[in-house]
Structures are given as structure tokens and as C-alpha cells.
Amino acid sequence: MTQTNKSTERATEAKIGIFFDNSWHPSYNNRTIPVINPTNGNAFTEIAAGNAADIDCAVRAARAAFDGAWGQLSATERGRLLSNVGLLILEHFDELATLEALDTGKPMKQAKADITAAARYFEYYGAAADKVHGETIPFMNGFFVTTEHLPHGVTGHIIPWNYPAQMFGRSLAPALAMGNATVIKPAEDACLSSLRLAELCAEAGFPPGAINLVPGSGEVAGAALSSHPGIDFISFTGSPEVGSLVQIAAARNHIGCTLELGGKSPQIVFADADIEEVIPVVTAAIVQNAGQTCSAGARVLVENKILTEFTKKLSTAFSELVVGTPEMDLNLGPLINQTQHRRIKRYCDQAETDGVPLIASGRVADDVPAGGYFVAPRLYGPVPLDHPLAHEEVFGPVLSLIPFSDEEEAVKIANGTDYGLVAGVWSGDGSRAIRVGRRMVAGQVFINGYGAGGGIELPFGGMRKSGHGREKGFEALYEFSASRTLVIKHG
Ligand code: NAP
Ligand code: MG
């Protein structure tokens, strides 16, 4: 049996259920959602369509765990369990990578990188769990004041389809490290790796109820989770539109939330940058995961002095890109679904109608299956600043090239969208690179490099419409906890 068949079988086995108290249970309404293979548009298995009653079960299980065995564990014991998950992910590496590639259509090498990152989240937060210290605060004579960081209680997690396994780790591992009991609603378009990861968490030794998972649609299961009165905090990654709904639901329950809502991230290339180094990074930053990355480098701002040479080299790089199936393992795979496919096509059609020059495009491999959501990567430019391609998030392999004449103009254009997630600055002049980097409205700024999606250790999150709150690194541990100040009078 091939690895793909084994993974499909495993996915089908895990099937139609809601995961709480460390095992699968039938959903209340027994409804299902087909799981589509993005390389051919065919359904190959199905998942449960969880509803509000299922969410309620999962939240109750989480509450019981928080008030019970899970809540009693020490930080060191929690860390050990998280580290166990990291090891189990690596033990099941091929199975998980194949499942992820099957579900999302991404190239195998990307799926493997994603599973490595998922394991890293559990390793990192496993090691960090018992290293979150409070502080002592000088106060009036006769008092001793100290703080400690406490879990919120039950945390809700709504994750998108673009990096499902990574998102599972990114969202759950820090929440668990701090001692929260969790309920996760993965995206219906790609949740198979999350189903399997929930099982591996149980195998790692987590007490029942620490990790609960309800598959289902956003409108039903997602909305029920974000508005459930038993949730103490919610972490959301996805679109700005749904992010607003989640924040409204959180506000109604007077709880906090973090929102990670994507971007239109710029990379500024000054004339003194090392172009040979820039080209592959700028290309990879938009084609990685077929551009379906919140931190994709979707705009490249190029100094006029090097525009001709840079455009020529980037055009060559784009024309060499090939799209294919996971097994072909080329530069990029298909888009996730038909909606995304239509959306990207709409942007490209509009660019054509509006006369935005298409500088170069890659191609779809000849032998891909019919019915898949394949689209060739495209480089447009110069893109006028008032065109949607200059400021809207496309969430596909479409790069907008925008020229600039000086530092001031570059900064203005870079900061000129509603978003502020990541930015990159390329320059041989170190002072300028730092100066400009520090003016970027973005949660992460790369100087002479760009790491779309990378870096478990690096705090990550948005400004403006890109959302608020920080994930990754130690900052995530503070998001998933609240401080308590203890004021002791000793006379
Ligand atoms: P989305 O609708 O915001 O989905 C993100 C998550 O929210 C999914 O789990 C989704 O569930 C859930 N959801 C949907 N409606 C909900 C609701 N009313 N209440 C609570 N949860 C809800 O994003 P999308 O439709 O997948 O993608 C649309 C656009 O969002 C993309 O084109 C892109 O611009 C952006 N996006 C950004 C990121 C990012 O990493 N920042 C990731 C993905 C998408 P279901 O999908 O199961 O319905
Ligand atoms: Mg799928």
C-alpha cells in the first residue's frame, strides 16, 4: 500500500466525529461535509459537520479538564506532555506530511516543512512551559508584591486551511503550555491533519478534555465556538471579515481575543541591494503555498534606478515557475478550492481589463489532472497605487511590482495599505536598511531577507487590519494567560 493510500485510509478511519475527552464521538446531527482533493476537485472522504450542540459538548469537556486533572498538573508536567507530542509528530512524519499534501494540494516538500514546524511548536512550547516567571514589584514599606501568570481557562481556537498542521501547533501549544483547556475548530477545507494531531495529543498522555476538536463549517461550528459563554479567550486566524465577527462575539462575552488577519506585505528593494540574493527570496515569498500565506510578500517595491535590470531578472525567475501536484513536488501546488480559484482568476481578469501590464507568468505542468484548482503564478507591474492589486490581499500567487524614486516614497507606499503584518527591506547601506525598517508599520520586519511564515521563536502578528495580539515566541504565552498581582502585607 502506498503512503498516500495509507494516509487516505487513516483519514477515512478518523472520520465523521467530534473529538472530546480523548476519543471520537458521533456528532449530534450526523451530517457530514465532503473533503475535496484540490488537485482534481473530487471528494475522497468526509468529516463531521459539527454544530452548536457538539461545540457545547467540547466546551464542557474542556471545562471539566480545567477544573480537574488537567488543571492540577504542574507547568513541568504540561511541558513534558507537549514535548511528547513533538516527538510523536516526528515519529509519524511521513504519514502526516502525506495527509497534509493530500488535503491541501501543496508540494510534498512544503508539506514536510509544515510538519517539521508543527513539531517545533510543541517542542518549543514544551520547553517553555515552566519558564514563564512573574516578577516582584517594589511597593510601600511593609509589603511584598509579586505577580504570576495564570491560564484564562477554556480557550477557543479557529484556524484556517492554508497551513493546517502548523496552525494547530501554533494556536494550541502555547495555550496548553500555560494550562488552558482547549477547543479547536479547524477549517472545513483542510482539517485532516488536525484530526490526526488531536489523536496524537491523546496518545502523548494529555488528560481527557485538555484538547477537544469539532470539525464543521465556520458559519455553524465556528460561530458557535466564538459565541459560547463557556469560552474564556479566543484565538482566530483567517479573513478580516470573519475576524470582526469573532471579535464582536468575544466582546458580547467580555473576553479577549487575538486576531491574525493576513496582509499585503511589501518588500522594498533599494538600488544598492544584492539583486542576485533578492530575486529568489522575493519569488519564493509569493509562490510559497501558492501565495496562500498571510505573510506572503505580495508587493515588491523597486527603486527606479534598477527597475529595468530587476524586472528582467524577476521576469526570468517567474517564467521558470511550474505548478503541479504534491507528488510532482514543483514550485507550487493548486489553490485550496474553487472559490479561491475563481477569486484569483477575477483579480487577473480585472488586471487585464484595467490594462495593468503582465510582466511574466509561470505555467501549469502539462500532466496535471483535470478539475484541479491550478493557476499559473503571475507578476504584474508597474501596478498603479490605486489599483486593487496594489492594496488588496489576493491570497494567491500574484506579485505586484511597484517602482519608487526615493526613500520617502518607498516608506509611504509600503505603509500605504490597510494592512501591517510583515515587511522586508533590502539595501547594501546598513544604516538606511535599519532606518527604513524601523519605519515600517508591521509586526515583523526583515532586513536583507524575508521569511514568509517562518520562525516559531519570533513574535508574529499584525497592526491595523492585519489584526492584533501576538502569536509565536514567548509573547504567545502571555496572550494565553492573565497576570495576577499578589500584595502581601508583612508589617
Ligand atoms: P475565513 O472564512 O476567515 O476562515 C477562517 C476560519 O474561520 C475557518 O476555520 C472558517 O471555517 C472559520 N469561519 C468562517 N466563518 C466563521 C464565522 N462566521 N464564525 C467563526 N468562524 C468562522 O477565511 P477563508 O474563507 O478560508 O478565506 C478567505 C480569505 O481569508 C482568504 O482569501 C484570505 O484573504 C484570508 N485568509 C487569511 C488567512 C491568514 O492566515 N491570515 C488564512 C486563510 C484565509 P470554515 O472555513 O470551515 O468555514
Ligand atoms: Mg481538502
Nearest residue CA, atom 11 of ligand 1? 218
CA-angle at 108, arms to 106 and 109, nearest 5°: 105
Whether 1 has a pLDDT exceeding 50, the answer reads no
Task: Give the architecture (CATH level 2) of 3-261+468-485.
Answer: 3-Layer(aba) Sandwich (3.40)
Of the pLDDT bands very low, low, confident and very high (cuts 50, 70, 90), residue 23 is very high
pLDDT, mean of residues 34-58 = 97
How many A from CA of 341 to the centre of ligand 1? 15
Of 50, 81, 62, 48, residue with least CA distance to 20: 62
260 catalytic residue (yes or no):
yes
276 catalytic residue (yes or no):
no
Whether 199 has a pLDDT exceeding 60, the answer reads yes
pLDDT, mean of residues 221-233 = 98
* Average of per-residue pLDDT values in the chain: 96
Closest ligand to Cα 100: 2
This prediction has a pTM of 0.96
Closest ligand to Cα 265: 1
Closest ligand to Cα 168: 1
Of 288, 27, 281, residue with least CA distance to 166: 288
In the chain, domain spans = 3-261+468-485, 266-455
How many A from CA of 263 to the centre of ligand 1? 14
Whether 146 has a pLDDT exceeding 80, the answer reads yes
Of 446, 420, 419, 417, residue with least CA distance to 433: 446
How many A from CA of 36 to the centre of ligand 2? 5
Whether 89 has a pLDDT exceeding 90, the answer reads yes
pLDDT in tens, 359-408: 999 999 999 999 999 999 999 999 999 999 999 999 999 999 999 999 99
Of the pLDDT bands very low, low, confident and very high (cuts 50, 70, 90), residue 491 is confident
pLDDT at 475: 97
- Element containing residue 412 per DSSP (H, E): helix 407-414
Whether 6 has a pLDDT exceeding 70, the answer reads no
Task: Give the architecture (CATH level 2) of 266-455.
Answer: 3-Layer(aba) Sandwich (3.40)
pLDDT at 453: 64
How many A from CA of 466 to the centre of ligand 2? 25
Residues with CB under 6 A from ligand 1: 158-162, 185, 187-189, 217-219, 222-223, 226, 237-239, 242, 245-246, 260-262, 294, 393, 395
Domains 3-261+468-485 and 266-455 share a fold: no
CA distances from 340 to 15, 36, 49, 133, 290 (A): 25, 13, 21, 44, 11
